[in-house]
Amino acid sequence: MERVPQEAGAAEAQQARRAVAGKARRMVIGGGVLVVVALLAYWLGTSGGNGEGAAPRASATPTPSATLTVPDVFKRVGPSVVVIQAGKSLGTGVIAADDGTILTAHHVVKGTKDVNLTFADGTKAKAVVASSNPELDVATLKPAKLPEIVVPATLGGAVAVGAPVVAIGNPLGLTYSVSTGVVSGLNRSADRSTEEGDLSGLIQFDASVNPGSSGGPLLDTRGLVIGIVVSIADPGGDEAFAGIAFAVPIGVALGGTEGDGPPGDGPEI
């Protein structure tokens, strides 16, 4: 029987140990690479890098898409609001189109051709009445001069009882005043002179307005013009705000249909 020399056996054993050690090293290195790859993938997936190329992830609590704070509403719509001085009458208007056309209340400019505007940036201009609808108490004005940057408001929006609203206007000459409240009722009516006839289909709201506010925008929390302020309820006969105000719905102001509703006496403001 042939015997294997001891030296050869020792050499083979040493070679086997080296092979096992090399394999172990390769496994450690391979495992380290996998850990690095996994960490890199996690880092990129959680935008730990610069975010470029990272896939968007859904939010657990979606943010409301359009609701604004009152300061944000004013910041958005304030540049669209205009101070109107028509003879002895003070009122408010809102830029309603890119060409600078201004929407206001008819009674603010009624009976005078001397209409003066002051825009939010301080620009002053004369204006002429482009159209008027006494039955709906709305009118449009065409300025002779426009500010360097014209910022028209966005018109339109749904109205619901209890919904929050914002009014911007010039009550008692306090220009660019902001007040807040809610829609108190819909399809209200307000008495006027026999010659003009009563207003109907109005939005009732409780944001504070006073003489000088007429023609100003009534806004929802998205900054959309939902109405044009026209009058207040005045049980004391002193033209002071009593918590009830009225606005012509913007759809009506733009030529839509009227509605009917219970009475709500009040002077034009």
CATH number at residue 191: 2.40.10.120
pLDDT one-digit tens code per residue, 4-48: 444 444 455 455 555 545 554 554 444 444 444 344 444 434 444
Res 70 pLDDT > 70: yes
Q: Is residue 103 part of a domain?
A: yes
Q: Is residue 38 part of a domain?
A: no
Residue at 27: amino acid letter: M
Active-site residue, selected from the candidate residues 80, 106, 132, 137:
137
Rounded CA-CA distance 135/200 in Å is 10
Rounded CA-CA distance 201/252 in Å is 8
Q: Is residue 198 part of a domain?
A: yes
Q: Is residue 179 part of a domain?
A: yes
pLDDT at 234: 77
Q: Is residue 8 part of a domain?
A: no
**In the predicted model, what is the mean pLDDT of residues 181-195?**
81
137 is annotated as an active-site residue: yes
pLDDT at 153: 97
pLDDT at 101: 97
- Hey, what are 10's tokens? 């020792």
Contacts of 24 (CB under 8 A, 6+ apart): none
Total domains, the chain: 1
pTM of the model: 0.71
Rounded CA-CA distance 248/267 in Å is 14
Q: Is residue 46 part of a domain?
A: no
How many CA atoms lie less than 13 Å away from 120 in the CB half-sphere?
21
pLDDT one-digit tens code per residue, 190-210: 875 545 567 889 999 999 999
**In the predicted model, what is the mean pLDDT of residues 222-237?**
90
Q: Report the range of poorest mean pLDDT among 30-39, 69-78, 207-216.
A: 30-39
Q: If you average pLDDT over every residue of the chain, what do you get?
A: 78
- Hey, what are 241's tokens? 């705000």
Could you tell me if 183 and 205 are in contact, meaning their C-beta atoms sit under 8 angstroms apart? yes
**109 SS3 class:** helix
107 is annotated as an active-site residue: yes
pLDDT one-digit tens code per residue, 113-144: 899 999 999 999 999 999 999 999 999 999 99
pLDDT at 200: 86
Active-site residue, selected from the candidate residues 177, 208, 214, 231:
214
Q: Is residue 201 part of a domain?
A: yes
- Structural domain containing residue 207: 70-254
Q: Is residue 54 part of a domain?
A: no
Active-site residue, selected from the candidate residues 89, 106, 107, 208:
107
